[in-house]
Chains A and B, each alone.
Chain A
Amino acid sequence: MTRGTGRPRYSLVTILARQFRSDRTAHTVLAITVLVLTALSTALPLTVQEMNSREIGYRLQQLRAHQRDLGVTVAGSPPTAPGSTEKEIFAPTDSGLRRVVAETPEPLRSRMATPQYLSLTAPVSASTPPRRFDPQLQLAVATAPGFASRVRTVEGTLPLPFAAVAPDAPAIEVMMTAKNAAGLRWKVGETRSIHPDAQHSVSMTLSGIFAPRSPTDPYWTMDRSSLVPEKITMVLPGGEIQLIQVSTVVIDPASWPNLRNSFAGSTTTFRIPLSASAIHTDQADRMLPQVRRFTATGQEIAPESAAATVTKVRFDTGIDDALALALDRGRAASAVLLMVAIGPLGVAAAVLWLLVSLIALRRRETLVLARARGASASQLAGVVVAETLLLTVPAAALGAAIAVALNPGPLPPDLIIIPVAIAAVPGALIAVAATSRAASSGRADLDPRSRRWVRVVLELLVAALTVLAVVLFAQRGLTTSTSIGVDPLLAAVPLLLAVTTALIVLRTFPAPLLALGRRLATGRGFVGHLGSLRAVRDPAAGLVPVLAMVVGLSVAVFSGVMVGTLQHGVAAAGESNVGADLRITGVALTDKTISAISDVRGVSAVAGVYEPLTRLDAVLDGARFSVALVVTDTGRLAKVRGDLENVAVVPRGMSRLSHGSIPGIVFPAYTAAKLPGARFTVSGEPVTAVGDPATGAALSRADAWVLVDRSMAPRFDAEEFRPELGLVRLAPASRSGQGLAAVEKSIRAIVGDPVVFSTPSESAATFRISPVASGLQLLLVLLIVTVGLLCAGSVVLALLVSSRPRERLFALLRTLGLSGQQSRGIVAWEVGPSAVIAVIAGAILGLALPLVVLAGVDVRSFTGGTIQPRETFDPLVLLALVGGFFIVVAGAALLAIAAARRVDIARTLRTSGEG
């Protein structure tokens, strides 16, 4: 009976291929899920790394050049050697600095640019013919090696070299900027006799005017008076104020050795510019201690020699604090993201399990048959695992490739574990699912009791682990301030809490549901009765979708609260750092200017804040500590505060003694002292703490301070009042936009040019636009979306996994006259109760999680505030989140139900005889 000539080759591969072709939907979904999961979970750490690197770059760029660079100003001249050219003369300094750089370890060394230096004589009178209201006009002579290459000559010529400085020698040539020349009223070609001291005199001719090639070149930060005259306010003993204006004149650098001894003294500024480009966190981690070591020790430029020569200097920089802050922010961001991302990872694992269960279910007949025909467990597992890996491995590879393509730089070796794990996990899961399903007889009612015990023990273990993790977390925090990294158990706290909540939901909700079912049984509602019974006895859901919904919603709510908390925290920090609607710094204020400012249109109130440099001794309960004194007109400050929330509260009556004691606002508000009302002694004077210093940041940068009214200041030997900080309350119309600009312009006209303004919104904005702050918020939002989709997927999958018994039931009920609407109702009962309870539990957990996380993760670095922000619950956002979540899950369930409705009664009943 053999037909045809070609005898088919019956090989395992062809049979497997046919099997795959016959039912590939679930496999395709698995492959896509693996691809997306790999892409997302590989991209996340890469993005976080990139974000952290950019954050460091951003922090460095935020620094002013002189804060970012390694710099130092010391008394003395740079070491020189005999010679005629600039290069020969400064060779010892140049080579010394080069050696310093060369001896610096990497990665710090490669971020160093060529060192720069500049020497200045002490300022002396510029011999300008005096005019009324002139400040004291002074000049300092500068030598700046490489000067000629940094400037262009606007007028005249570059200064010529000179051999000596003597009364009878020819006048030496100097050069300066147009602004400096104008300040000194010195014309090109004019010669003046300068007197470095009583005995010496030097004739100087202005040979030319220069302009910097790049005025913004940080080089010029080495000498503030080199481009524009520097204005100095000096307070003489007795309160008289003297204004000084210093301009720098530049000589031919090679002539410095001939001039330096004619002046009373000189200073040299060294500067090693540091790159402000983004840097990988690992590099920054290594660089930070290198910077600290570099600045903590003296760097030898030349061996010990003449007394006036600089030999060893200790550089200073602000970059270490900025790096530390950026690294802290990066760590905190990673910690928050890890805690948030572990939840979706748990849901993703649950979704993979459901998918794999679905595949195993669809393969069940095949597996049972093959097993009955004598296929061993390892044979079956081998086939299903191979089939799965054949899909997941390329999918995971593609996903990882996409993630890498989206991010610059290669995949770090330690991250390769992610795609490998995601590719391997479905293989492992399906081995378990397939062999256990094939082994089971398919009779759920014959489930051995021992498995229930296993389940109870596992659930108790999870609960115990959760308690342990929460306790440890509360005690230790997430160790974000060290470079140890994050404890995985502690990072899993949100997930563990979610799993435990899901377990509690699953174990407790049958009771009320059964009660409901009994009540519905007495009525006419057949659907409600059957539905509630099915929800308890044969839940479609089971643990996995409930877990997914609890985790998903809690992550979504948690992320929403975190976003709100961070935004609110940033705004609050901006307010508390600025302290008013507008902050004026950079200029000295007087009573006259303060009253002029208060007359500006749009200004409601102004207060000047004065902080004398001297520290006072304070005694509280026998403990002695040092405080700064902050003096202000408390009446004005109270008006300035207005209704701002995060700034110091100034009570009335601070200008009067209360019971013989001086009312003062004390920072920090020592909790041990039970402030307010605590009594202190400050410099022997009794002080009673009143008011509330809030974060204290706006009024003083000191660690501890006491604010008293101006009328009380003389008791602390602070007779004068010379505020350098002005706090302004603005009329609502002037708080932003053009109104604000107009106010700033008017104030600038009153107090002069160097004034610096800041407002709470600007201060908040610098934090908000930082890569970590903005990236964190974006990633949190993305996580909300991802977890929502994962949840929807898990609900659909759960309904698909349980579709066979449901189809059987419906086919049966349909023959008994069940309507389509009633069958939908029964499916809704299958998902509904657990979904509603999961959503409630998830929302509650999501609201509770921020309390746990904020207790363990320091997020101050995101807000720029000095105190941890309070969790902020925005009802609208939360409602939108919960509602949106519910809609996504319900929509997915409806889709699955709609698909499930197309039941072929005849087919189902015919094939349902099998146990």
Chain B
Amino acid sequence: MTTVAEPHIFCADLVRIFAAQGVEVQALQGLNLRVERGEMVALVGASGSGKSTLLTILSGLDTPTAGTARCAGFDLLTLSRRDRVEYQRHSVGFVWQQTSRNLLPYLTAGENVAMAMIVAGNPTADRGARVTELLDLLDVGYCRDRTPGQMSGGEQQRTAIAVALANSPEILLADEPTGELDEATSSEVLEAMRGINERLGTTILIVTHDPAVSGHVRRTIQIRDGRTSTEVLRRSEVDEHGEERHISEEFAVIDRVGRLQLPDAYTKALDLRERVRLTLEPDRVEVFPGQDTASTTNGGEK
């Protein structure tokens, strides 16, 4: 199923509509997303932007209404029951914001990790060793025999990551993993995830409303009104003086049929509304306010 060229997470024109009692809520309105194997990406958006819906779909808990969604070679729209189980067991792991959705309160950290293995039907032989290894990987080996109630928030989230990694998934999805943590602890958790990404090569997608997360990932994608709008790529370069420089470039996302969202700040600055004028230059497209001078003035007076 997997082709070399295909990205590890691929969404195209993804639509999810919730319909209840005559009211329709379009949570995803044609979202596009590509995440390559081994990437660690943050998906940032305000509340109600559809980011949690996307993550629920990617984790196989929900089915999109239309579009394309493929993860680790699984087509999430046509997933059979058996494939879904297989996908959740071995291809994807996730970490949610609330501890209660990650860890069972009455099980110790070790048992929580073990339970994920048992669910997946992994062999029992080296389960204990694997549990210890995973917890140690996340620096919470000392929490092995503690229940979540006896751990700090950071320890809980790191244990949750260990649980998510229990069956060596190719992809790790995290929904606001730092939502309930203070800045320092957040940073610890995010660095732990980056460590996993680097050491195990696991593809990681973090969904968050916290712009600070962007500092820990190379690529940050902005989601707005159920669509991906812009991307910020961050890289570090060593300049001619031998000093490391962090460079971040912002990109807008253009979909297959050429639609593109301009950042809010841009449209406000030039009072772009209703229509704009485009001109094609050899190496770029230029966007001008669509109104004539009079209407621009009028608009400016408003």
Contact = CB atoms under 8 A, between A and B. Distances in A.
Interface in A1-19: 1-3, 7-12, 14-15, 18-19
A14 B89 CA distance: 21
B253 interface: no
A725 B104 CA distance: 86
A3 B141 CA distance: 8
A819 interface: no
A15 B107 contact: yes
A614 interface: no
Interface stretch (B124-132, B206-214, B244-252, B288-296): B124-132
B86 interface: yes
A3 B85 CA distance: 34
Interface size classification for chain B: 35 or more
A10 B20 contact: no
Nearest to B129: A7
B88 A373 contact: yes
Nearest to A379: B119
B106 A374 contact: no
Given A15-B111, A372-B94, A914-B98, A365 B89 contact: no
B100 A911 contact: yes
B106 A18 contact: yes
B82 to A, nearest CB: 8
A7 B132 contact: yes
Nearest to A372: B61
B136 interface: yes
A376 B87 CA distance: 11
B194 interface: no
A106 interface: no
A8 to B, nearest CB: 6
Nearest to B82: A376
A421 interface: no
A19 B106 CA distance: 7
B76 to A, nearest CB: 14
A406 to B, nearest CB: 39
A10 B18 contact: no
A375 B141 contact: no
B120 interface: yes
B107 to A, nearest CB: 6
Contact of B87 (A11, A23, A374, A441): A374
Contacts of B106: 18-19, 21-23
A19 B114 CA distance: 14
Nearest to A911: B100
A519 B119 CA distance: 54
B145 A2 contact: no
B111 A446 contact: no
B234 interface: no
A449 B104 CA distance: 32
Contacts of A22: 105-106
Contacts of B101: 365, 368-369, 372, 914
Nearest to A914: B98
A370 interface: yes
A15 B104 CA distance: 11
A8 B120 contact: no
A9 B128 contact: yes
Contacts of A913: 98
Given A3-B141, A3-B142, A19-B106, A8 B128 contact: yes
Contact of B128 (A3, A7, A377, A914): A7
A372 B59 contact: yes
Nearest to A2: B132
A368 B114 CA distance: 17
A366 interface: yes
A904 interface: no
Contacts of A304: none
B216 interface: no
A168 interface: no
Listed residue (A10, A21, A446, A914) with the most chain B CB atoms within 10 angstroms of its CB: A10
A183 to B, nearest CB: 94
A490 to B, nearest CB: 41
Interface in B145-191: 145, 163, 167
Contacts of B117: 10
Contacts of B33: none
Interface string A872-913: 000000000000000000000000000000000000000101
A217 interface: no
A914 B100 contact: yes
A190 interface: no
A446 B81 contact: no
Contacts of B90: 374
Given A18-B106, A369-B104, A12 B118 contact: yes
B111 A3 contact: no
Given A3-B144, A374-B86, A914-B100, A8 B21 contact: no
B88 A1 contact: no
A1 B136 contact: yes
B119 A375 contact: yes
Contacts of A449: 21
B136 A370 contact: no
23 contacts: A1-B141, A1-B142, A2-B136, A3-B144, A3-B145, A7-B132, A8-B110, A10-B114, A10-B115, A10-B117, A10-B124, A11-B124, A18-B111, A21-B106, A22-B105, A365-B101, A373-B88, A373-B115, A373-B163, A374-B89, A374-B167, A376-B82, A911-B100
Interface of B: 18, 20-21, 59, 61-62, 81-82, 85-90, 94, 98, 100-102, 104-108, 110-111, 113-120, 124, 127-129, 131-132, 135-136, 139, 141-142, 144-145, 163, 167
- The 3 tightest CB contacts between A and B, nearest first, are A10-B114, A1-B141, A374-B88
Given A22-B106, A369-B102, A369-B104, 5 more contacts: A10-B131, A21-B106, A372-B59, A441-B62, A914-B100
